[in-house]
Chain A
Amino acid sequence: MALDVLIVDDSTAIRKILLRVLSQTDLTIGDVLEAGDGVEALRILEERKVGLILSDINMPNMDGLQLLTSVRARPDWNSIAVIMITTEGSQAKVMEAVQMGAQGYVRKPFTAEQIKEKISSCLGSPAN
């Protein structure tokens, strides 16, 4: 079954890079949806079911941690795997994201391999 993915980042550059990385995995990727902030992401989630969210933290309007809180508060979204991909690298932020329900955390700058490995470990299937 194809995995639909939502990429949430205010940088179109990062969204393009993640789109490319997803295309390089061995996963069967279905639709890849994009949002520029948490508000737009929630709007997409109301209409589309996805299996994985890759989200930045620092974004305008609604940041990635607020988005994570909203996703975990909805029983029908609670099974979505969420990986935070961000420049926020402090241990406190990592712990906060994990405690709020993020399955993974990747700090920018990243390599394609780091993203693939994190997706693989979060989904329990090889992404490489």
Chain B
Amino acid sequence: MESPLTRDEIADLIRANTEKVFTTMLDLPIHAGPVTVQTTGAGEDGGVVSLVGFAGEWSGSGTIRCSGGLACAISAKLLLTDFDHVNDDVLDAIGEVANMIIGNFKDDAAYKLGPLGLSTPTVIYGDNFQARNWNGQSWTTVPFSCEGELFEVKICLVPSHALRGSLRPTGVGG
């Protein structure tokens, strides 16, 4: 089944919603780089990753990823409190940033994909871990530059019927 959303349209929605969140709530300049397609999920280099799941006629995940240092800078802007290391407040703030970016993407995508449900965010902080999607589905990835560091947003969406009967576990391991 061909997606009603092209990769370019997905990338445009990622860019627009990420910029909206950074402009409205963080007052941090952010610059999008060229879109890529990747077969692995978030976390190839570690850092702070937040993942939000989609469910409906289309299923998948959205993730954001950045270094611990950038996560602290983003959290400081959101909460107006300085952070010198990643703690529970930083993880919660990054989860909320993911919720807003992926949640707004979901609302925009739903115009073409139909109603989509959204999971609550899961946040992971660590080094040297990888995440994979069902059956190795690819991710549309938009890298952003923020405070001189990488902030990455990835989306993977597939028709739910394509997953039924062929489920293999998502791998998350160190």
Contacts and interface: CB of A to CB of B under 8 A. Distances in A.
Interface of A: 10-14, 16-17, 20, 58-60, 87-90, 107-111
B172 interface: no
Contacts of A60: 120
A12 to B, nearest CB: 5
Contacts of B115: 90
Given A13-B78, A90-B110, A109 B95 contact: no
Interface of B: 20-21, 24-25, 75, 78-80, 89, 92-93, 95-96, 99-100, 103-104, 106-107, 110, 115, 118, 120
A107 B92 CA distance: 19
B152 to A, nearest CB: 19
Contacts, number: 57
Q: Classify the secondary structure of B's interface with A.
A: helix
B80 A20 contact: yes
Given A11-B95, A12-B89, A58-B118, A109 B21 contact: yes
Contacts of B25: 17, 108-111
A109 B100 contact: yes
